[in-house]
Structure 1
Amino acid sequence: MRYYLLSLLALSGAVTAWLPSERDLFGEQPNSVARSVSIGKGRSIKRFDSSYNKIRGVNLGSLFIIEPWMCADEWKSMGCDGTNSEFDCVLKLGQDAANAAFKKHWDTWITEQDLDRMKEYGLNTIRVPVGYWLVEDTVYADSEHFPQGGLEYLDRLAGWAASRNIYVILDLHGAPGAQEPNQPFTGQYAPSAGFFVSWQYDRAYKFLQTMTERIHKNNAYRTTGMIEVLNEPERNHPDLITTYYATAYDKIRETEENLNIPGAQQLTIQFMDQAWGAGNPRDVLQGKTGVAFDDHRYLKWAPIEQSKQSYLSTSCSDTFGDGDSKPIIVGEWSLAVDSNQEWNAGWDPTKEENKAFYTQWWAAQVQAYEKGLGWAFWSWKTQLGGDWRWSYSAAVDAGVIPKDPGQAAALAKC
């Protein structure tokens, strides 16, 4: 998760490839519109209008890539206190002790009960940030230090989601060499972004191909329909588009062709949209099918007036999808506000009188993001005390977010 917002840009629409609406995955729900389709002899079945079956999801932040800022107690209990990233913690603890600490974390940070609560709260999708090191033979064993054994826990999570008809977006959040400097979300607090060279790209392709094959061969992944090739890359690397994005798409499709996967069952391949500022993926994707785009929208860092009215009006009128970035999902957003004001009396989340604003702003964002394919909030769970602005589950429990996201249009008052 990157600490600034892209410019607020223009929207668009069409749906392609293995998306939830293509399989009626979400079924009949409050936001569904069904039509009866005749199947002969006076019988009919329901088909749901895909424009109403929106992705309503959460990120499982700090499950497979821990960000210490959002779970300091967990980080300390694992013995990682004083380190900035998973790489640093494994180096500190040693491989065996680190493996034990991380396995305990994977067993407890997100449980089946969490997925049950997501369903109860009207959510239908999880975005799962992962690092390339889950595919362990991509790791340089002599110089890189990451926890081992995470892939079986990802398998388990995918199975839990599938058994509940929860759609899964798998997101390459931490790339070889790090795609951003000094960011724990890459899994390594690297002083510079080392990803943007051919041999690092090769390791990322191997990760993508291995996971593509696993998704298609392992029934646990039957509701995993989207793979994002890279989260929040550093800007000013032109070959990110011309080389990495173009080849990543081809490698995933090549793997599926070798497995004889029909087009309707192929993964949707997702890219950060042009508004992120690292180039326009459409430059190399014209004519390619089964693609989607990811937009991250944090008004906390936006170049707008930092006032409640400004937040509401900006979200109410928000448009996005510049550069033919469609179909599009807002893959990260939150209720966090300007750092200089976030604990002032008028913004303090612990004050009851401020909750109505946050409810309305949540709703304003939801109604905007559902102009596209939908959204995934950052994040499901945090350890930030009474500050629920980064935690969907805590915000619901605090009565700020309703259990039915379908209430957003009425609550937004746009």
Structure 2
Amino acid sequence: MLVLIELYALSILAGLAAAWLPGVHRDIYSLDGKNLFNRSIPFRGSSKRWLQSSGKIRGVNLGSLFVFEPWIAESTWSEMGCGDQNSEFDCVSSLGQGAADSAFQKHWGSWITKDDISQMQSYGLNTIRIPVGYWLYEDIVDSKSEHFPKGGLSYLEQVCSWASDAGFYIIIDLHGAPGAQVADNSDTGQYASSAGFYEDYQYGRALQFLEWMTKQVHQNNAFRNVGMLQIVNEPEQDPDTVSSMLTTYYPNAVNTIRLTELGLGILWNNYLHIQMMDELWGSGDPNQYIIDRYFLAYDDHRYMKYDSSIKVSKDTYLSASCNDDRDSNSPTIVGEFSLSPPDDVQWDSKWSPDSNRDFYKKWFAAQVQSYEKQEGWIFWTWKAEAGDYRWSYSGMCIETQKGGPAVACVE
């Protein structure tokens, strides 16, 4: 209890300190006096990098890298031998551990390359968000009942090291939680028939993951530009269903990360930002039971295609995006959005990506203009195999050669 009181007091004393977010440039020095910013040198002491950036967060998600969503890359999924499976869990169960490990390691080594990172940098982006599953920490996986690919950590290290060399701010997002935080969704890695996350046993394993990941960030040079750790992605949207998450998991997650940092001797100005879904997501007020709110951040996902209150028309979408008020908790990042209209109209002539490039260019500009009223935005996702740039940032940039949404690809 005394430690928690000290944590709370520390948050009050440090309340006026600048947050570790893009837009705030600080030179951080190691114990030997060398400037560590954007340098690939061995980690020394507790100093971490601050980004050199003059503007808001402008980034992309690395979707389907460490949490595979088959719809994003159906060809690759089939080539891995997973074509008739719903999720990573199902695929590993079907292929067997050894064959699955080989298939996934090949995927991890090729889906995002150093050239991808360089291309992101050339487009003026400054942030990447990396969805991961709890199974990345293999010690907490129950091998008798849970089946996930092994060996992902070294590939995460590689991607984060490339991104750090390029000066990116990095957010690591617990996208797949123990037991699955939602049902029937491949983005949990499990496609479970029910959401099993909301119980003490699963919360405990998630806390173990957060402690382990916090140590990785502060002790492993590959993670030198990781500035934010998201404690769970897109939980259930019924506050009654997730009440234990608000009362138990959220405060314990914050305390776990902070106590881990205290134990490592990390100073307050090098703490991780801890991110939760904001209140607009619909899971309740994330701050309701949290005492220590220092260096907290919030994630807002804005997929207009799922908003039934907005009339499906180009003019309405542009107007709604231009006037979109995402002011909820602060600081908020719109961590996921796309250019996709509802499924039932997306391939109609009025919405076809091939014949409506000018509209999608305007809609992208309208969205990012509104999201930069907050801390910025992260597009979902960097690449997709479907040939639909409305879900692919790299695809949007290719479209600039055809008069597409060029605003996405300039600094």
TM (norm. structure 2) is 0.86
Aligned to 2:79: 77
2:26 and 2:51 in contact (8 A); partners too: yes
Aligned to 1:306: 312
Relative to structure 1, the CA distance from residue 346 to residue 110 in structure 2 (aligned partners, 3 Å threshold; closer, same or farther) is same
Give how far 1:129 is off. Answer: 0.2
**What is the distance in 1 between the residues matched to 2:75 and 2:353?**
21
2:58 and 2:125 in contact (8 A); partners too: yes
Aligned to 1:333: 337
Residue 296 (structure 2) aligned to one of 262, 287, 291: 291
Give how far 1:402 is off. Answer: 2.2
Give how far 1:21 is off. Answer: 2.7
Relative to structure 1, the CA distance from residue 16 to residue 231 in structure 2 (aligned partners, 3 Å threshold; closer, same or farther) is farther
Relative to structure 1, the CA distance from residue 179 to residue 48 in structure 2 (aligned partners, 3 Å threshold; closer, same or farther) is closer
Aligned to 1:278: 283
1:15 and 1:327 in contact (8 A); partners too: no
Aligned to 2:190: 188
**What is the distance in 2 between the residues matched to 1:286 and 1:280?**
13
Give how far 1:148 is off. Answer: 0.1
1:366 aligns with 2:368: yes
Residue 67 (structure 2) aligned to one of 65, 68, 74: 65
Quick one: which amino acid aligns to residue 249 of structure 2?
A: Y
Counterparts of residues 172-321 of structure 1 (less than 5 Å): 172-234=174-236, 235=238, 236-302=241-307, 303-321=309-327
Where 1:375 maps in the other structure, the secondary structure is strand
**What is the distance in 1 between the residues matched to 2:301 and 2:374?**
13
The CA deviation string for residues 175-221 of structure 1, in whole angstroms up to 9 with x for no partner, is 00000000000000100000000010000000001000010001111
| Number of equivalent positions | 367
Relative to structure 1, the CA distance from residue 87 to residue 281 in structure 2 (aligned partners, 3 Å threshold; closer, same or farther) is same
Give how far 1:405 is off. Answer: 5.6
Quick one: which amino acid aligns to residue 245 of structure 1?
A: Y
**What is the distance in 1 between the residues matched to 2:80 and 2:299?**
32
Aligned to 2:56: 54
Give how far 1:23 is off. Answer: 3.1
**What is the distance in 2 between the residues matched to 1:133 and 1:16?**
34
1:300 and 1:338 in contact (8 A); partners too: yes
Aligned to 1:381: 383
1:122 and 1:403 in contact (8 A); partners too: no
Where 1:329 maps in the other structure, the secondary structure is strand
2:169 and 2:227 in contact (8 A); partners too: yes
Q: Which blocks of at least 5 consecutive residues in structure 1 are unaligned?
A: 1-13, 26-46, 408-414
Give how far 1:288 is off. Answer: 1.8
The CA deviation string for residues 112-169 of structure 1, in whole angstroms up to 9 with x for no partner, is 0000000111111100000000000010011100000001110111100110001100
**What is the distance in 1 between the residues matched to 2:293 and 2:72?**
38
**What is the distance in 2 between the residues matched to 1:287 and 1:94?**
44
Where 1:371 maps in the other structure, the secondary structure is coil
Give how far 1:94 is off. Answer: 0.2
**What is the distance in 2 between the residues matched to 1:300 and 1:274?**
19
Aligned to 1:38: none
Counterparts of residues 390-405 of structure 1 (less than 5 Å): 390-399=391-400, 400-402=404-406
Give how far 1:320 is off. Answer: 1.4
Relative to structure 1, the CA distance from residue 97 to residue 208 in structure 2 (aligned partners, 3 Å threshold; closer, same or farther) is same
Give how far 1:388 is off. Answer: 1.0
Give how far 1:18 is off. Answer: 2.2
1:58 and 1:378 in contact (8 A); partners too: yes
Give how far 1:239 is off. Answer: 1.1
Relative to structure 1, the CA distance from residue 74 to residue 48 in structure 2 (aligned partners, 3 Å threshold; closer, same or farther) is closer
Quick one: which amino acid aligns to residue 272 of structure 2?
A: L
Quick one: which amino acid aligns to residue 327 of structure 1?
A: P
**What is the distance in 2 between the residues matched to 1:215 and 1:361?**
36
Q: Which blocks of at least 5 consecutive residues in structure 2 are unaligned?
A: 1-15, 28-49
2:24 and 2:52 in contact (8 A); partners too: no
**What is the distance in 2 between the residues matched to 1:201 and 1:332?**
24
Quick one: which amino acid aligns to residue 355 of structure 1?
A: R
Quick one: which amino acid aligns to residue 149 of structure 2?
A: P
Deviation above 4 Å: which 4+ runs of structure 1? 47-50, 403-407
**What is the distance in 2 between the residues matched to 1:108 and 1:285?**
40
Relative to structure 1, the CA distance from residue 205 to residue 167 in structure 2 (aligned partners, 3 Å threshold; closer, same or farther) is same
